[in-house]
């Protein structure tokens, strides 16, 4: 694809797979380590952290980690590309705050599907841009608690919109009218319900939860139960549901619907803000750009004191290429039509619920050690 993007200003030029030239090094080890830490602080579906880094002088290669990507919901790397976009944006924002700009070549080799970007960092003496978002990189986190207070003012909403639009082609859709909000809630609930009904999606979901860490501690990879906001009396049942036989039995009693209601419908109903990230096409470069926009919106929300929980199942399943059992193909195509009615033109990919939390978050997801991402500066 060979596309060069300067910083996040949206200027794009074609680049004919340019050979990477040798240059003098300008980025010191400390700065490189800081850039990687900023990238690793990004969110990823199920806290999979599917990133690999490699330095070559001042150039940094960002790749998708083959061992932590490509699961059922990550068909065509949609979730990994979103996480890569968020990681990229964190690094760009952090570097800009230190006076570096990024020349970005996305998907440099068409045949190498895991190679997401090559970033050339250069010092820009004229870069005196203040980067307020940089201050939110370490604070940003997922909050699954509820209820949350509001309202979210139109000024705050406009700031979030503006951050999404910083990345060309990206936008937020806010279901405002009761009819729109009802439709949005409907698709999210259907998708979350499917995650418990389909054996394939159920296995994927529960394999990412690290029950061995218990209900009070964080873990450095995957989802710690402590971050899931499951009420104490329900924890033993939730834990038992990881067994397919138990889930199947409980589904006969309507468990999947109840879980869809509890995990999505209720928290969203009790949150003052809901929006949907809409990308212009499902090309990987647009999904990557969507991840960058997602991260800018999330950082801005953090600066504004807002809690955020993303919901990606509705968007990803509605794209129509996640291979679920034949029995669930029809609900999937209904989901696709409903999402299209909601936000066309474009593809709704990730819902975000917002609000002001009543109390501080108890547990946050951890990260693996930087060395495990493959890069030594």
Ligand X SMILES: Cc1cc2nc3c(=O)[nH]c(=O)nc-3n(C[C@H](O)[C@H](O)[C@H](O)COP(=O)(O)O)c2cc1C
User: What is the closest distance, in whole angstroms, from the C-beta atom of residue 79 to ligand X in the complex?
Assistant: 5
Residue closer to ligand X by CB (options 223, 276) is: 223
Among 122, 144, 165, 181, binds ligand X (CB under 6 A): 144
Question: Does the protein bind ligand X through residue 309 (CB under 6 A)?
Answer: yes
Strands 273-279 and 171-173, bridge-based pairing? antiparallel
Residue closer to ligand X by CB (options 8, 195) is: 195
Find out whether 348 and 311 touch, Cβ atoms under 8 Å: no
Q: Give the binding range for ligand X (CB under 6 A) out of 2-10, 238-246, 310-318, 331-339.
A: 310-318
Q: Which of 62, 60, 38 is nearest to 52 (CA)?
A: 62
Q: Which of 30, 88, 100 is nearest to 63 (CA)?
A: 88
Among 45, 116, 188, 306, binds ligand X (CB under 6 A): 45
Question: Does the protein bind ligand X through residue 86 (CB under 6 A)?
Answer: yes
Q: Give the binding range for ligand X (CB under 6 A) out of 43-51, 175-183, 238-246, 249-257.
A: 43-51
Question: Does the protein bind ligand X through residue 44 (CB under 6 A)?
Answer: yes
Question: Does the protein bind ligand X through residue 368 (CB under 6 A)?
Answer: no
Q: How far is CA 200 from CA 10, 166, 189, 301, 324, in A?
A: 39, 37, 18, 34, 6
SS3 (DSSP) at 369: coil
Read off the tokens for 108: 């440099």
Residue closer to ligand X by CB (options 41, 375) is: 41
Question: Does the protein bind ligand X through residue 46 (CB under 6 A)?
Answer: yes
Q: Give the binding range for ligand X (CB under 6 A) out of 1-9, 60-68, 136-144, 251-259.
A: 136-144
Among 40, 60, 62, 83, binds ligand X (CB under 6 A): 83
SS3 (DSSP) at 367: coil
Q: Give the binding range for ligand X (CB under 6 A) out of 124-132, 169-177, 307-315, 335-343.
A: 307-315
Residue closer to ligand X by CB (options 340, 364) is: 364
Q: Give the binding range for ligand X (CB under 6 A) out of 3-11, 24-32, 39-47, 339-347.
A: 39-47
Output the CA torsion 106→109→115→119 (10° steps).
Answer: -40
SS (H, E, C) 67-110: HHCCCHHHHHHHHHHHHHHHHHHHHHHHHHHCCEEEEEEECCCC
Q: Give the binding range for ligand X (CB under 6 A) out of 27-35, 77-85, 182-190, 318-326.
A: 77-85
Find out whether 71 and 90 touch, Cβ atoms under 8 Å: no
Find out whether 316 and 79 touch, Cβ atoms under 8 Å: yes
CA angle 356, 349, 362 (to 5 degrees): 35
User: What is the closest distance, in whole angstroms, from the C-beta atom of residue 177 to ligand X in the complex?
Assistant: 24
Count of H-run helices and E-run strands, the chain: 12, 11
Find out whether 118 and 60 touch, Cβ atoms under 8 Å: yes
Residue closer to ligand X by CB (options 27, 137) is: 137
Q: Which of 102, 115, 12 is nearest to 54 (CA)?
A: 115
User: What is the closest distance, in whole angstroms, from the C-beta atom of residue 48 to ligand X in the complex?
Assistant: 8
Question: Does the protein bind ligand X through residue 274 (CB under 6 A)?
Answer: no
Q: Closest residue to ligand X, Cβ-based?
A: 43
Question: Does the protein bind ligand X through residue 102 (CB under 6 A)?
Answer: no
Judged by the rule CB under 6 A, the positions of this chain that interact with ligand X are: 43-47, 79, 82-83, 86, 141-142, 144, 223, 309-313, 350, 364-365
């Amino acid at each position: 694809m060979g596309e060069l993007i300067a910083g996040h200003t949206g200027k794009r030029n074609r680049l004919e797979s340019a050979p990477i030239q040798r240059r003098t090094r300008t980025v010191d080890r400390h700065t490189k380590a800081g850039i990687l830490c900023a990238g690793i602080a990004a969110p990823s579906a199920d806290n999979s952290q599917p990133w690999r880094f490699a330095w070559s002088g001042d150039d940094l290669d960002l790749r998708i980690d083959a061992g932590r990507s490509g699961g059922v919901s990550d068909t065509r790397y949609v979730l990994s590309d979103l996480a890569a976009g968020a990681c990229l944006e964190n690094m760009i924002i952090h570097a800009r705050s230190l006076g570096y700009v990024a020349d970005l070549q996305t998907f440099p080799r068409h045949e190498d599907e895991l190679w997401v970007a090559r970033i050339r960092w250069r010092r820009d003496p004229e870069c005196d841009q203040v980067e307020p978002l940089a201050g939110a990189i370490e604070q940003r986190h997922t909050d699954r608690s509820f209820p949350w207070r509001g309202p979210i003012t139109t000024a705050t909403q406009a700031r979030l919109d503006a951050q999404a639009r910083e990345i060309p082609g990206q936008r937020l859709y806010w279901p405002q009218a009761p009819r729109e909000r009802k439709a949005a809630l409907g698709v999210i609930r259907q998708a979350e319900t499917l995650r418990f009904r389909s054996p394939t999606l159920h296995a994927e979901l529960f394999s990412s939860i690290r029950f061995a860490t218990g209900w009070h501690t964080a873990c450095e990879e995957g989802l710690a139960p402590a971050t899931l906001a499951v009420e104490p009396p329900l924890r033993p049942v939730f834990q038992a549901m990881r067994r397919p036989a138990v889930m199947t039995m409980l589904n006969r009693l309507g468990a999947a619907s109840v879980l869809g209601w509890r995990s999505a419908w209720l928290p969203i109903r009790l949150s003052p803000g809901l929006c949907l990230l809409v990308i212009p096409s499902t090309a990987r470069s647009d999904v990557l750009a969507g991840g960058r926009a997602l991260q800018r919106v999330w950082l801005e929300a953090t600066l504004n004191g807002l809690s955020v929980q993303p919901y990606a199942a509705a968007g990803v399943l509605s794209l129509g290429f996640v291979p679920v059992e034949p029995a669930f193909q029809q609900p999937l195509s209904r989901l696709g039509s409903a999402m299209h009615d909601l936000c066309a033109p474009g593809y709704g990919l990730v819902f975000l619920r917002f609000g002001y939390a009543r109390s501080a978050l108890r547990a946050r997801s951890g990260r693996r050690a930087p060395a495990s991402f493959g890069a030594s500066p």
